[in-house]
Amino acid sequence: MSISAIDNRASSGALETYVPALGRLLLAAIFLLSGVGKVFAPGATQGYIAAAGLPAPFLAYLVAVAVEVVGGALLVLGYQTRAVALVLAVFTLATAFGFHHNFAEQNQMIHFMKNLAITGGLLQVVAFGAGAFSLDGRR
């Protein structure tokens, strides 16, 4: 199958409708799971933030929960998607540098690169929007 055949199929509608929605869901899953996990472990999360040397662990905890849970849900729904994806991209990049900066440790380097990849996916959403199967697409 040639690239042009794939391009022609992509313009048929189904790919443009459902693939962006699936992409948003897959990107949002990590934020939703992480945010809900933080809700159920506030002490451990604040301890982790403090151990990383970041200021105001309680405030950082509240921001992280809000960004991850609300941002993840809005990303799934496709509401204000470009703005939400930009906030999540900045948040993800900040967490990469705040928590995964020990490049001598292989696991931290993997987490850092994972965060960069997620940021790249979110920037694609910023650039191209939510797609047709979204609240943004209904407006």
Q: What is the 3-state secondary structure (H, E, C) of the chain?
A: CCHHHHHHHHCCCHHHHHHHHHHHHHHHHHHHHHHHHHHHCHHHHHHHHHHCCCCCHHHHHHHHHHHHHHHHHHHHHCCCHHHHHHHHHHHHHHHHHHHCCCCCCHHHHHHHHHHHHHHHHHHHHHHHCCCCCCHHHHC
Q: pLDDT at residue 4 above 90?
A: no
Q: pLDDT at residue 66 above 60?
A: yes
Taking the complete model, does pTM exceed 0.95, yes or no?
no
